[in-house]
Structure 1
Amino acid sequence: MTRILVIRLSALGDFVQSFPAFAAIRAHHPDASITLLTTAPFRALAETSPWFDQIEIDTRPKITDFRGMKRLRQQLSGYDRIYDLQTSGRSSGYRRLAGKADWSGIRGSGPLSHTNPSRTLMHTRTRQRDQLRVAGMAEVPEVADLNWLTSQGSRFTEQLRTPYAVIVPGAAPHRPGKRWAADRYGALAAHLAAKGQTPVVVGSSADTPLAAVIQSVCPEAVDLTGKTSILDLGGICAKATIAIGNDTGPMHLAAAVGCRCLVLFSAESDPGLTAPIGRFAEQVRVLRVHDMATLSVDRVVSALG
């Protein structure tokens, strides 16, 4: 049996952007044993999906960690083909640990190498589609079947007052410039509540202080920060009327499951390269400003349509 390894380590938004690529690899190798090498936060998501037969967790050992590097070499060995969808400096370095497997990635000059000089100017989806085309896949779907994901989270959705809107106030801790102020999200939540929608705040436990600020402005808001798994979040977003949030992982998930989205971008990131991709035209709207501090609540409300 052909053995395939797919490498996709992090982060959530990047992982979600790879759903169509995962589906294409599974369709291209229907009888192969396909393993995903990823990081611990995405184990349950990957195990629930229909694309992989096994999941391996990369603990990202340091080069000086002899035991960790030995285990990593074992995790990378014995495959006929490896698709590096991470294409980072770290994952590219794994090629030297992978033996004689055919390598689809950016390291080396083999027949599957993605050497397009414009790859860094492409959106993640376009770049992966081009990489897989070089590897022999003429068709990569625009969207993947996510029924397995949209059916999750019933323990929350059955209790939420409908209709509800999802609010995503967090972002990577080291990228504060990507965040719109929590008190402004609070004012937005109050607007939504006045229109008959329950504001539902989601994110990790690190975002709980942001949810507290939002609730101080809008007591009707429901705080689910730190309470949901990624799988739960997929089902919650699928049933929401809209999701509004910063350029961060949960907004990619919301877009992927078909939720109408308004994504707030600052100069910290380029939507041309990383914007969430929806399932249908005009599902995802991007509102970009140079500095989040200049973005008013009225402008966001106007953008809701």
Structure 2
Amino acid sequence: MTILVIKHSALGDMILALPLFRAIRAHHPGERIVLLTTAPYVELTRASGCFDAIWTDSRPKLWQPGALLRLARLLRSEDFSRIYDLQGSQRTRRIYYRLMGSPRDRWVGNAAGCRHHIPDPVEPVHIAEHRRRQLALVGIPDPGLPDLSFLTADTGRYGLPPRYALLVPGGAPHRPAKRWPATAFAAMASHLAGRGITPVLIGQRAEQQAIDAITAACPAAVSLLGQTSVAELAALARSAALAVGNDTGPMHIIAAAGCPSLVLYSAESDPRKVSPRGDWVRLLQRPTLETLSAADAIAALPPPRGG
């Protein structure tokens, strides 16, 4: 018996999908489980230990018949007893469903005509709840919250003080409206430093300008620009007093690691649909993040570890 799980998605969605992978693995003990995903998530999903094989999907276009043919051959190379479509996109529910010969009785998802069908929600529903309902169609119980205990790393090389907070001022480069201004992050960093909590800035090269501005305004801040892997970020989050960041993938990792977190949203995204989960997570939204004052964000901070 071989099971196929389809999940492409962005980093935050992949973190939210980890409990689904774990639940599918538990539901199919001893069976071979294959994941079809995209290249950025191979390492993370392999480390989860939930899959026997991981196939990389280049997501070929309709005008790339050769690539589509190769994908079709791959998808038909094994006789899957069940297919879990955890992406539910136009691509997977239409193209991939047809490439696999419309496997009606084996498909669990939103493809028209499949036996285990879950319709797309009309009202805003968190993606984790929607996927929970999807798995319930075939008797898989509530998968719960993400567990990143499989991600371990030695972060001693950073030489951080015992009490620090993670600040994540970046986000998708093509969606600047999802970013709180660097000046506001600098004010937050200064506030934390005044409380004896060292601000530690997380980001990639695209965030260099913002991080440089924050460290210039708050010399107590420590920049780890471009240095942290996914596993290191999870390890740092386990020891951090708290975290503040935009609606971006790293905040999903940090929150899933159990760090008290404040996640900031503009009208560009809907936290009712996709957001980190847990009693230790607080969400704060404004129509535009330029209107969110540092004072309001400070007032919304979760209680830090250690008081």
Aligned partner of 1:129 in structure 2 is: 132
Contact 2:35 2:55 in 1 (8 A): yes
Aligned partner of 2:251 in structure 1 is: 251
Asked whether 1:284 is paired with 2:281, we answer yes
Contact 2:12 2:248 in 1 (8 A): yes
* Percentage of matched positions with identical amino acids: 43
Q: Return the alpha-carbon distance in structure 1 between the equivalents of residues 59 and 225 of structure 2.
A: 27
Aligned partner of 1:191 in structure 2 is: 191
Asked whether 1:105 is paired with 2:109, we answer yes
Q: TM-score, normalised by structure 1?
A: 0.91
Q: TM-score, normalised by structure 2?
A: 0.91
Aligned partner of 1:46 in structure 2 is: 45
Q: Once the 2 structures are TM-superposed, how far is the Cα of residue 209 of structure 1 from its aligned partner? A: 2.0
Stretches of structure 2 that go unaligned for 5 or more consecutive residues are none
**Cα deviation code 1:204-250 (max 9, x no counterpart):** 22122221111111122222232222222121222211110111111
| Stretch moving more, 232-241 or 153-162 | 153-162
Change (3 A) 1:157 1:134: farther
Q: Return the alpha-carbon distance in structure 2 between the equivalents of residues 119 and 7 of structure 1.
A: 23
Q: Once the 2 structures are TM-superposed, how far is the Cα of residue 120 of structure 1 from its aligned partner? A: 5.5
| One-letter code aligned to 1:136 | G
**SS in structure 2 of the partner of residue 121 of structure 1:** coil
**SS in structure 2 of the partner of residue 18 of structure 1:** helix
Q: Return the alpha-carbon distance in structure 2 between the equivalents of residues 111 and 103 of structure 1.
A: 7
| One-letter code aligned to 1:36 | L
Contact 1:23 1:144 in 2 (8 A): no
How large is the Cα RMSD of the aligned pairs?
1.8
**Cα deviation code 1:156-197 (max 9, x no counterpart):** 576222211111111222222111001211121121112111
| One-letter code aligned to 1:105 | G
**SS in structure 2 of the partner of residue 74 of structure 1:** helix
Q: Once the 2 structures are TM-superposed, how far is the Cα of residue 100 of structure 1 from its aligned partner? A: 5.9
**Cα deviation code 1:105-142 (max 9, x no counterpart):** 11122221213x636531101000001111231x1222
Contact 2:12 2:253 in 1 (8 A): yes
Q: Once the 2 structures are TM-superposed, how far is the Cα of residue 27 of structure 1 from its aligned partner? A: 0.6
Asked whether 1:6 is paired with 2:5, we answer yes
Q: Once the 2 structures are TM-superposed, how far is the Cα of residue 144 of structure 1 from its aligned partner? A: 4.1
Aligned partner of 1:208 in structure 2 is: 208
Q: Return the alpha-carbon distance in structure 2 between the equivalents of residues 153 and 260 of structure 1.
A: 20
Q: Return the alpha-carbon distance in structure 1 between the equivalents of residues 157 and 130 of structure 2.
A: 35
| One-letter code aligned to 1:227 | Q
Change (3 A) 1:214 1:74: farther
